[in-house]
Amino acid sequence: MCMPMLLGLHSQGRQGYGLFFDNTFRGQFDLGATDPNVASFGAEGGELRYYFIYGPALTTVIERYTELTGRMILPPLWVLGYHQSRWSYYPEARVRKLAADFREVHHVPCDCIHLDIHYMDGYRCFTWDSERFPDPAGMIADLHAQGFKVIVIIDAGIKADHRYWVCQSGLEQDVFCKYPDGKTLPSTGSGHRFKGPVWPGNCYFPDFTSPRARTWWGDLYKALTDTGVDGVWNDMNEPAVFGPPGTTIPDFVRHDLEGRGGYHVEAHNVYGMQLARATVEGLMKLRPDERPVCITRSGWAGVQRYAMSWTGDNESNWSSLWLTMPMVMSLGLCGMANTGPDIGGFSGSTTGELFTRWLQMGVFLPFLRAHTAIRSPDQEPWSWGEPYLSINRRYIALRYRLLPYLYTAFWQCARNGLPIVRPLLLACQDDATTHTLDDQFLCGDAFLVAPVIEEGATRRSVYLPAGTWYDFWTDETLRGPARVEVQAPLEQLPLFVRAGSVVPMAPPMHYVGQRPVDRLTLHVYPGEGISWLYEDDGESLAYRRGQYRLTRFALSSARTRSRSKEETPLSRLDLHRRIEGPYAPTYRGLEVIIHGENRLPRAATTDGQPIERCELDDSGHAIRLHVGLFERLVVEWA
């Protein structure tokens, strides 16, 4: 990923700004490295074209930046589920066993299985290995019947094999990158096209900066959509070419650059994004009523319009676990919010503890996928036995319960660019302590997540910014700003909820759409605040024609007066629920859980009518109410 975007804070954080350098050549930002008194930026070619965006709130900067470069398209809801990948699951029997392991053996929720490069015939894109996968359409249909989606990898390079239909077609259509020898080439000639070695051997590279080549590439996906493939994982699209680290297409290879003409030195940084764009435009043509799903490794400013991403090859160690946070937060600040790491780490082998800790963090990251390298040991939620399996299962189930909440955070991001995972400074820019926090983050409007990032640790220190925070597990309240030391045994991710939040949760499922949602639970954390819930059918494009429902919750609460510093007892809680939009969700009733309270109320009404079912929650520190679709809920204590 290359995002030539600089975000800055001035005057103790009061003034935030952004500088987007709109230049795709090899460039640099030098912030006092060469001369401590000089900050500079520039590139080896192109124009000095840049945008300066003043906030003063950084959230405003991001809103403007994504207005300029584009915003994420809403993924289908299943993309927010758990994904399982490895390099590579094959043959078909192995894939079927994986599916059965999830559904029948270990009962771990999962929405999607990823097929890495071994599904192809000799690494030829848009083909299947007929021995490993004799009947891909049949296999995928069976996986669909079990509620799985299938994503397959597609690399950038096309094997230079003149008996291979994609290569033939690319030569005929003349879409591959060429050296600047100025000759008009016969359609069968290949001598002047750039070739570089990747997995299949020598490859040609389509020129994705050409609209004609993009259309050609997009149409190739018919070979995959015809077999029922649900989404595409675009890898090696920097493009990566085998050789010393950093090897790619040489600088002087020619590109179309939208008809203007130029060299790879200019096209390089947008090559991967234009590939992803071609993929998505192709998928949208092939399936006009569906939301396209494309995961890309490479991208440039604005790639969020087309694709989601993963953070590339990490390592199975604790420092890579930590690094996930600054990476996902930085990508989010640059508009590429829908992203996540290889859970458990890509290279090397992970321990049960490391996987579980990574997964606990991953539940609060936009893209939740376990993936690992070739020849590394199994890396599935059950691979280390107990107690890991039970904990992993419980956290993945929590992810599914949180889907209404997370999907709402996705919608916010699609609407105004606000990232899903946010550094704390986005919420409290004037609190200088938050400016350098890279080991905890906010997820959506309500959650503060402080993952354990040390082997063997059973506690950690957490910074809570100003306000009242509920401990998600105990419902105890804590007051910020403060640094607190919290318990974190293996089964517990340090997790806090902002007072005043309403967190919508769904019943747990083994995959999205397993059955209709019959009841929505509103987790209410007393305080003052506005919360949102966005709902639509989760799969089609009907939301663009207004088929959605947006719910606004306004929560206020009053407490009895008391001189002690402790949180005093609640005396009254008021919750207004206002809906907008015609989409009708499947549930009829709501369950309202009021956290941090163990006294049954004196009176509780919805729209003036008394609530019949009102009980102490099993946890012992929350009150549970069963209600209909109210507009106003009022609860009073003696």
Cβ proximity to ligand MIG, 153 vs 397, nearer residue: 153
Half-sphere exposure of 602 (CA within 13 A, CB side): 7
Cβ proximity to ligand MIG, 7 vs 117, nearer residue: 117
Kindly state the smallest distance separating residue 243's Cβ from ligand MIG, in Å.
12
Report the site for ligand MIG in 78-137 (rule: CB under 6 A). Answer: 87, 116-117
- Identify whether 207 is a catalytic site residue: no
CA distance 626 to 168: 64
Q: Which of 46, 91, 201, 312 binds ligand MIG (CB under 6 A)?
A: 312
Biggest alpha carbon–alpha carbon distance for the chain: 89
CA distance 126 to 115: 13
The CB density around residue 418, as the number of other CB atoms within 10 Å, is 20
Kindly state the smallest distance separating residue 593's Cβ from ligand MIG, in Å.
40
Cβ proximity to ligand MIG, 235 vs 471, nearer residue: 235
Catalytic residue among 313, 353, 476, 636: 313
- Token pair belonging to 200: 């299949």
Query: Phi/psi at 389 (nearest 5 deg)?
Result: -55, -50
Q: At what angle do helices 264-286 and 211-220 cross, to 10 degrees?
A: 40
Kindly state the smallest distance separating residue 378's Cβ from ligand MIG, in Å.
15
Catalytic residue among 238, 266, 475, 535: 238
Kindly state the smallest distance separating residue 153's Cβ from ligand MIG, in Å.
6
Helices H / strands E in the chain, number of each:
11, 36
Residue pair 397/109 in contact (Cβ under 8 Å)? The answer is: yes
Query: Phi/psi at 155 (nearest 5 deg)?
Result: -90, 170
Q: DSSP 3-state helix, strand, coil percentages of the chain (rounded to 5)?
A: 25, 30, 45
Cβ proximity to ligand MIG, 153 vs 522, nearer residue: 153
Half-sphere exposure of 418 (CA within 13 A, CB side): 18
- Identify whether 238 is a catalytic site residue: yes
Can you list the positions of beta strands (E) in 11-157? 15-21, 27-31, 39-43, 50-54, 82-84, 112-115, 149-155
Report the site for ligand MIG in 281-310 (rule: CB under 6 A). Answer: 297
Buried/exposed 380-410: b ≥16 CB within 10 Å, e otherwise: bbbbbeeebbebbbebbbbbbbbbbbbbbbb
Residues with Cβ within 8 Å of residue 553, at least 6 apart in sequence:
502, 522, 530, 531, 532, 533, 575, 576, 577
Cβ proximity to ligand MIG, 88 vs 169, nearer residue: 88
Kindly state the smallest distance separating residue 117's Cβ from ligand MIG, in Å.
4
Kindly state the smallest distance separating residue 157's Cβ from ligand MIG, in Å.
11
Kindly state the smallest distance separating residue 236's Cβ from ligand MIG, in Å.
6
Q: Nearest to ligand MIG by Cβ — which residue? A: 87
Cβ proximity to ligand MIG, 342 vs 591, nearer residue: 342
The single-letter DSSP state of residue 176 is B
**Site mask for ligand MIG (CB under 6 A), range 197-236, x = bound:** --------------------------------------xx
Number of residues that bind ligand MIG (CB under 6 A): 10
Q: Does 153 bind ligand MIG (CB under 6 A)?
A: yes
CA distance 209 to 213: 8
Kindly state the smallest distance separating residue 310's Cβ from ligand MIG, in Å.
7
Cβ proximity to ligand MIG, 71 vs 124, nearer residue: 124
- 3-class secondary-structure state, position 11: helix
Cβ proximity to ligand MIG, 343 vs 604, nearer residue: 343
Cβ proximity to ligand MIG, 313 vs 438, nearer residue: 313
- 3-class secondary-structure state, position 52: strand
**Sole residue written with tokens 């609460």:** 557
Kindly state the smallest distance separating residue 141's Cβ from ligand MIG, in Å.
25
**Sole residue written with tokens 């930590």:** 322
Q: Which of 22, 142, 313, 537 binds ligand MIG (CB under 6 A)?
A: 313
Cis peptide bond upstream of 88, omega within 30: yes
Among the listed residues 332, 337, 376, the one whose alpha carbon sits nearest the alpha carbon of residue 355: 376
Residues designated as active site: 235, 238, 313
Residues that bind ligand MIG (CB under 6 A): 87, 116-117, 153, 235-236, 297, 312-313, 371
